[in-house]
Amino acid sequence: MATILKLDNVSKLYGSLRALDGVTLSLPDNAYISLLGPSGSGKTTLLRVIAGFERQDGGGVLLAGESLDGVPAHRRNIGFVFQNFALFPHLSVARNISFGLENSEGTARPSAGVIAAKVRDIVALTGLGGLEERGVAQISGGQRQRVALARTLVTEPGLVLLDEPLGALDANLRTRMRDELRAIRERLGVTFLHVTGSETEALAMGDSLIVLDRGRIGQIDAPDTVYNRPASPAVARFLNCYNLFEGSLGEGAFVGPAGRFALDAAAAASKGGGPAYAVRHDRIEVRPPAAPAGADEVRIEGAFVASEYTGATQLSFFRLDDGRLVEVEAHLSHRSPAAYGADERYGLVWKRRDALVYA
Amino acid sequence: MQSTLIKPALATYTALFLLFLYAPFVVLAILSFQTGPEGGPQFPIIEWSTYWYRHLLGLVPPSRIAPLPIDESLLRSLGLAFMTMVVSTVLGVASAQAFRTRFAGSGIVFYLIVLGMMVPGVLVGLGMSLVANALGIDRHWWSTAFVLHVVYTFPFAFLVMLAIFNRFDESVEEASWSLGVPPGRTFRKVTFPLIFPGVLSAMLFAFTLSYDEFSRTLFASGRDLTLPLAIYGTFSVEIHPNVFAFGVLTTLFSFALLAVYAALMTLSIRRAKRVALQEEAA
């Protein structure tokens, strides 16, 4: 697959803070890439550097093989969709959409007829028909999102950057817009780089998923690979579905304050970034305290604290003897929610091969 | 409990405040209808008449009271105020735009600009006339006085625009750039329409401050007098109610200006409301 965007060792400093610390990656053409990072990981900075709103302090950005060094934002042919939409409040929906075509630089400006036709097409594609003459305050949040998208797409950018584009929408609308974003992108065949702080959004949207960790790339992989095999404890933490234990790697076991976890030969220390030991919330089974562990299992004990019922799952919290919390997620598709006694002790058991060990 | 006392107290205070604010003007307005030419600028009103208004417009037979020397000075003052308004507003917008990003020495430059409205006008006017003499430059209302008016009103325009830019959401400009629109065009098509209410306020400040500027103009304007100087000049002989009549007319003119300002403002506030709604949603 052809590469549309290449970042080569890009860094950006704010005073002494390294917002971006040697980011190197390449994005394939015609793909949906999601970029996941907690707040402060530098994800917005990265987008702003790519868009040309800010200049990197080191490294290079290449779009379709050409260096963007010194190229101002308006000549980069990179679209940007803002979290707050940043629509032009003094213009109607139609004028917002046609703005880029009508005001592009010099000879590139298409004729009025061409502009009208393009606007019509994109209005149809984004489902904004009938709203053309409305002011941008007279439409709903979801419609504003579409205007922001339409306004960008109509200029036919080589790459579209989306900075938490669904963050301003309510949960219901967010799920619907996810599907729409994907569908629109597929129709146009342009690469979307979608930045989000939500792990579910990142997993659901991307053909591939980039995890940004304190200004560095934590992992670039297909979403299911990232989910099942996070490359480092930090990535596992962002995914918000792993229990992480600290400790050290000993002979055939991981030893920490929580206990001694025997290792499966196959799972033993393949990844860096630790030492740490990770078990997914939904890989842990809760058993009565008397029940023993099997030969291929690891068992610890904890006191029940509370549980949270979300409909499809039940998330329970157990406190270990050293005070830390372990989360257990039970999928309720084939069972009813369990009732645990407050402060009673239970055995928490998982298969050795389900654990991820970081050296 | 308390608010039952506080509310009437505040209302009385406000009423008194407004009374003191407008009482001098009301007195002026009443006295401007004194009979003429024998009636003087004091109570009681001998007889109600519009004599002094007609006197102002040269519609009464010549008497011992000379007509106010306002026709040329009025035009001068309007011209000067207009020039000052245009230049100060342009400078104010441009410099406030510059202050949106920190630059080396921005702190010092800020205070140097604001100093223009702080320093005593008499001193600046005197200084300007000394400099002009030393350099052999003739003093005129359109040269030396004009420069001082700009120095005086530019900080007001600058501060107004600074406050406007402070609340300005820069992402709309970035959005425009990312759509391929060059910065200059972005300023004209996006930034300027959005800051226009502020520009109007800056214009109003610059115009009114320049229109009745006295102390700076006194030394710097040379032979041809501006309106405030011309009116002050008549006081040194004897005060007649024709000055009051003129005061009423200029005030009406100011109200007309304010009405234009208000009309333009309501138009752009409709836009501002859209912005507010958009921000609320975001």
- Residue A114: is its pLDDT beyond 50? yes
One domain, residues A165 and A100: yes
Closest CA to B79 of B126, B160, B145, B158: B145
Closest CA to B266 of B196, B171, B184, B188: B196
- Chain B environment of A73 (Cβ under 8 Å): 174, 177-178
Q: With an 8 Å Cβ cutoff, are A155 and B180 in contact?
A: yes
Closest CA to B162 of B261, B90, B92: B92
The number of folded domains in chain A is 2
* Chosen from B167, B178, B194 to mutate, greatest number of chain A CBs within 10 A: B178
Report how many Cβ contacts below 8 Å link chain A to chain B: 107
The answer to whether A212 and A36 are in contact (CB under 8 A) is yes
One domain, residues B173 and B216: yes
Task: Among A102-106, A176-180, B42-46, name the one with the lowest average pLDDT.
Answer: B42-46
Q: With an 8 Å Cβ cutoff, are B181 and A87 in contact?
A: no
Does B124 fall in a domain? yes
Give me the pLDDT at residue B282, please: 47
One domain, residues B107 and B220: yes
Give me the pLDDT at residue B276, please: 53
One domain, residues B110 and B29: no
Q: Give B155→chain A minimum CA distance, Å.
A: 28
Task: Look at residues A228, A255, A284 and tell me which one is the last residue of a structural domain.
Answer: A228
One domain, residues A350 and A308: yes
* R_g of chain B computed on alpha carbons: 24
**Which residue from B171, B183, B278 is facing A136, i.e. has the nearest CB?**
B278
* Residues in Cβ contact with B216 at an 8 Å cutoff, skipping those fewer than 6 apart: B121, B122, B124, B125, B128, B145, B148, B149, B152
Residue of A nearest to B271 (CA): A90
Give me the pLDDT at residue A298, please: 84
Q: How confident is the model at residue B202 (pLDDT cuts 50, 70, 90)?
A: very high
**Which residue from B172, B179, B279 is facing A100, i.e. has the nearest CB?**
B179
DSSP state string for chain B: -HHHHHHHHHHHHHHHHHHHHHHHHHHHHHHTT--SSS--SSSSPSS---HHHHHHTT-S---SSPPPS-HHHHHHHHHHHHHHHHHHHHHHHHHHHHTTS--TTHHHHHHHHHHHHHS-HHHHHHHHHHHHHHHTPPP-TTTHHHHHHHHHHHHHHHHHHHHHHHT--THHHHHHHHTT--HHHHIIIIIHHHHHHHHHHHHHHHHHHHHT--HHHHHHS-SSPPHHHHHHHHHTT---HHHHHHHHHHHHHHHHHHHHHHHHHHHHHHHHHHHHHHHHH-
CB proximity B189 to A under 8 Å: yes
One domain, residues A66 and A215: yes
Mean pLDDT of all residues in A239-243? 87
Does A223 fall in a domain? yes
Q: What is the span of the domain harbouring residue B35?
A: 2-56
CB proximity B63 to A under 8 Å: no
The answer to whether B121 and B152 are in contact (CB under 8 A) is yes
Q: With an 8 Å Cβ cutoff, are A82 and B277 in contact?
A: no
Q: Give B198→chain A minimum CA distance, Å.
A: 15
**Which residue from B178, B183, B193 is facing A51, i.e. has the nearest CB?**
B178
pTM: 0.80
Q: Given the DSSP bridges, would you call strands A191-196 and A32-36 parallel, antiparallel or unpaired?
A: parallel
C-alpha B254/C-alpha A308 separation (Å) is 67
One domain, residues B85 and B219: yes
Mean pLDDT of all residues in A1-28? 87
Mean pLDDT of all residues in B19-33? 87
Q: Give B171→chain A minimum CA distance, Å.
A: 6
One domain, residues B31 and B76: no
Mean pLDDT of all residues in B265-270? 77
DSSP state string for A120-142: HHHHHHTT-TT-TTSBTTSS-HH
Q: What is the span of the domain harbouring residue A108?
A: 3-228
Give me the pLDDT at residue B13, please: 96
**Which residue from B181, B193, B271 is facing A100, i.e. has the nearest CB?**
B181
- CATH, residue B105: 1.10.3720.10
Task: Look at residues A196, A228, A260 and tell me which one is the last residue of a structural domain.
Answer: A228
One domain, residues B165 and B104: yes
One domain, residues B50 and B83: no
Does A234 fall in a domain? no
What are the pLDDT digits (tens) for B133-191? 899 888 888 888 899 999 999 999 999 999 999 989 999 999 999 999 999 999 999 99
One domain, residues B38 and B162: no
One domain, residues B88 and B182: yes
Mean pLDDT of all residues in A99-122? 87
Q: Give A319→chain B minimum CA distance, Å.
A: 39
C-alpha B18/C-alpha B31 separation (Å) is 20
The number of folded domains in chain B is 2
Both tokens of residue B250?
């200029």
Does B169 fall in a domain? yes
Does B247 fall in a domain? no
The answer to whether B129 and B219 are in contact (CB under 8 A) is yes
Mean pLDDT of all residues in A151-180? 87
Cα end-to-end span (Å), chain B: 40
Does A135 fall in a domain? yes
One domain, residues A248 and A224: no
What are the pLDDT digits (tens) for A187-219? 888 999 999 888 888 888 888 999 988 888 888
- Chain B environment of A158 (Cβ under 8 Å): none
Does A233 fall in a domain? no
- Residue B275: is its pLDDT beyond 80? no
Closest CA to A71 of A46, A43, A51, A101: A51
Q: Give B147→chain A minimum CA distance, Å.
A: 36
- What are the distances in angstroms from CA B86 to CA A195, B90, B91? 45, 6, 9
- CATH, residue A191: 3.40.50.300
- CATH, residue A347: 2.40.50.140
Does B161 fall in a domain? yes
**Which residue from A52, A137, A148 is facing B274, i.e. has the nearest CB?**
A137
Q: How confident is the model at residue B277 (pLDDT cuts 50, 70, 90)?
A: low
Task: Among A231-240, A258-267, B27-36, B250-259, name the one with the lowest average pLDDT.
Answer: A258-267
Phi, then psi, of B58 in degrees rounded to 5: 75, 30
**Which residue from B175, B177, B194 is facing A90, i.e. has the nearest CB?**
B194
One domain, residues B37 and B116: no
Does A48 fall in a domain? yes
